[in-house]
Amino acid sequence: DAGITQSPRHKVTETGTPVTLRCHQTENHRYMYWYRQDPGHGLRLIHYSYGVKDTDKGEVSDGYSVSRSKTEDFLLTLESATSSQTSVYFCAISERGVRDTQYFGPGTRLTVL
């Protein structure tokens, strides 16, 4: 299995609070991705990174920001959490972007009350 960890694995928070999710990889892959998965919507890309300090938006980026200050860590921040952001968040990595297999982390289950 690819070396990807996500923290926390579960989190319950209240509306309006900031939340940061962390993705850590030990594979030295260039590309890192944040997805959310919801019933009826499948996996949707939030943001992705193609290198340190290089990030771009996905299809559902509103309300989220990301940072990547080193190869192994990709942070997802919800500046002010809303109930609509209750979801399962998956991080993924790949060596060569979409031409390559994406390996997923175990996921973070976030509940916003």
Residues of the shown chain interacting with other proteins in the complex, contacts defined by CB under 8 A: 31, 33, 35, 40-45, 48, 50, 56, 58-59, 90, 97-99, 101-107
Q: How far is the CB of 89 from other proteins (least distance, A)?
A: 11
Q: How far is the CB of 99 from other proteins (least distance, A)?
A: 5
Residue ranges of the alpha helices (H) in 1-113? Answer: none
Looking at the Cβ atoms of 42 and 70, the one nearer to other proteins is 42
Residue with tokens 């209750």: 86
Looking at the Cβ atoms of 33 and 64, the one nearer to other proteins is 33
Interacting residues of 27 by C-beta distance below 8 A, sequence separation 6+: 2, 3, 4, 93, 95, 103
Tell me which H or E stretch contains 24: strand 19-25
Q: How far is the CB of 18 from other proteins (least distance, A)?
A: 25
